[in-house]
């Protein structure tokens, strides 16, 4: 409510100091890791350095490539498109006409159905 209040400047200074401390800790950790390299860990370090860059914290579904009916691939980039693709992949569409099941030829039951009792549970 009061943008000029001293608490806002104090908060900003503390926030910046915290961010600076995190950067310093990461740098010190990385330099310590590099100084302790041996024949085995040099390849792990190579993988770290030459790998694809990441944002390091955001969880997201990567761009999905979906094969269309005509054989072409389409990229799904928005969350709405990705959710539709995943929904179609994991959940069956409801059967529109239940009458087709009434005509099915089912085998006779092997035993008479009895509900499960509380004692059995």
Describe the chain by its helix, strand, coil percentages, rounded to 5.
45, 5, 45
pLDDT the model gives residue 97: 63
Cα separation values, 58 from 27, 48, 55, 83, Å: 21, 18, 6, 18
Written as tens digits, the pLDDT of the chain (121 aa) is 787 888 999 999 999 999 999 999 999 999 998 898 888 888 888 888 887 777 666 677 888 999 988 989 999 999 899 999 999 889 988 776 666 666 778 888 888 888 999 999 9
Kindly report the backbone phi and psi dihedral angles of residue 115, in degrees, each rounded to the nearest multiple of 5, phi listed first: -65, 150
Q: What is the secondary structure of 35-65 as a DSSP string? A: HT--TTHHHHHHHHHHSPP--SS---PPPEE
Distance CA 81, CA 63 (A): 10
CB count in 10 Å sphere of residue 109: 7
Phi and psi dihedrals of 66, rounded to 5? -115, 130
| Dist. CA 112–CA 41, nearest whole Å | 65
């Amino acid at each position: 409510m009061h943008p000029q209040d001293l608490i806002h400047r104090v908060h900003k200074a503390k926030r910046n100091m915290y961010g600076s401390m995190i950067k310093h800790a990461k740098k010190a950790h990385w330099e310590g890791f590099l100084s302790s390299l041996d024949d085995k860990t040099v390849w792990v370090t190579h993988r770290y350095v030459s790998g694809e860059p990441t944002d390091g914290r955001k969880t997201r579904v990567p761009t999905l490539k979906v094969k269309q009916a005509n054989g072409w691939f389409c990229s799904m980039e928005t969350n709405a498109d990705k959710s539709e693709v995943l929904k179609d992949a994991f959940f069956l569409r409801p059967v529109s006409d239940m009458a087709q099941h009434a005509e099915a030829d089912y085998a006779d039951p092997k035993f008479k159905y009895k509900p499960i009792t509380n004692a059995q549970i």
